[in-house]
Amino acid sequence: MQAISPKLGEFLVKVTRSKDIEDAFYRVFSDYLALKIASLAKTSEGFKKKWGMDFDEFQRDLKDGALKKDTYAFDTERDFWEWEEAETLKGHYETLAKQWT
């Protein structure tokens, strides 16, 4: 098992105002997961507002050719890939957060 340097351990405890290194790591990882989830949710919300639908509807309309924009336009495809990535990663981090707590 790898060890962290005493300097890093001391810094983490001070920055997080924790009682010990384990609590410090718990706080850092908890905060990191919360920030990632919030950032990805914000990205998804932006696409939801832009397209006026949630990702599942967008994906279905894209597949069915029912979008008002060209399905194969660069902007449409880029939005799909970025939105899909945000949704996928958000789900991944939410699963990790449930396991972490």
- Flag whether pLDDT at 2 surpasses 90: no
pLDDT tens, residue by residue, 43-94: 999 999 999 999 999 999 999 989 988 888 999 999 999 999 999 999 999 9
What integer pLDDT is reported at residue 71 of this predicted model?
Answer: 86
In the chain, what are the domain boundaries? 30-100
- The pLDDT assigned to 101 comes to 76
- pLDDT for 43 equals 98
Nearest-10 Cα torsion for 20, 26, 30, 33: 130
Greatest CA separation for the chain: 59
State residue 83's pLDDT score: 98
Per residue in 14-34, pLDDT (tens digit) is: 999 999 999 999 999 999 999
Asked if residue 86 lies in contact with residue 48, where contact means CB atoms within 8 angstroms, the answer is no
